[in-house]
Amino acid sequence: MKNNRLPLIVGAFISIALIVAIFVVYNYKNNQVNSATDEQPKTTETNKTTEQDSTATEKPDNTETPAKPEQQPDENGYLPNQTLPTEPTYINGILLANKIYPLPSTFAPEENPEAREALNQMLAAAKQQGFDLVAFSGYRSFEYQTTLYDNYVKRDGQAAADRYSARPGYSEHQTGLAFDIGERGKEDVWLTEEFGETPAGQWLFAHAQEYGFILRFPQNKEEITGYMYESWHYRYVGKEVAKEITKKNITLEEYLGVK
């Protein structure tokens, strides 16, 4: 009897072992499939979250040039019946203020600290060369520009005033980035073309780019800038931009692609 039962016991043991082996293999494969299925969405979701966070934290870069106005400027360079915008115009991070792209009346940034620091460095460098330069006019509020412009119109007429003074909301001085510069002790040539012919004016024109400034209204560019040549009016744009504009002998409008 014992010998007859042995094959049965062995067979039963083998069957149980096969069943256990099949169960283990099945669970292993099932776990692998589930594991792979769980990991892929997590990776995708992680990537999506990272991309969204990166986009959300990046400062928008306005690289688009504003649409050119459909209207043609009038004889004084302004668009007929133009109203002031609610937001200032930035192109590639550069604030633009001219006869076509004005500023809001409420725009009041005061003097730009970075521009003032660069100005101080430039004036100090000029003094080392024997030129006592001074910025006699900087930031102007909308209200102050209104008074200034109205007085010029009363004195010289609107057509003449529009060649050298900006209407309220159109002045670069309202940006806090522009300065009228002259030589101390030679006030007789302040606000004149003659300043640009003096040694101090020539030094300023040659070295302003090194400190991030450009001559905003150069000679023979009135059709582009809208203003007569102003040897005293300098605008801060940063060193890299200033050097490129000066090297190419172009205006800010040409550099920004709005002319």
Per-residue pLDDT of the chain (259 residues; tens, 9 = 90+): 445 555 555 455 555 555 544 444 444 444 443 333 333 333 333 333 333 333 222 333 545 667 767 789 999 999 999 999 999 999 999 999 999 999 999 999 999 999 999 999 999 999 999 999 999 999 999 999 999 999 999 999 999 999 999 999 999 999 999 999 999 999 999 999 999 999 999 999 999 999 999 999 999 999 999 999 999 999 999 999 999 999 999 999 999 999 8
- From the CB of residue 87, how many other CB atoms can be counted at a distance below 10 Å? 8
The CATH class, in words, for 89-256 is alpha beta
Residue 191 pLDDT: 97
Distance CA 192, CA 109 (A): 28
Residue 259 pLDDT: 81
SS3 of 47-115: the string is HHHHHHHHHHHCCCCCCCCCCCCCCCCCCCCCCCCCCCCCCCEEECCEEECCCCCCCCCCCCCCCCHHH
Residue 207 pLDDT: 98
Alpha-carbon distances of 7 from 18, 60, 176, rounded to whole Å = 16, 82, 102
Domain boundaries, the chain: 1-58, 89-256
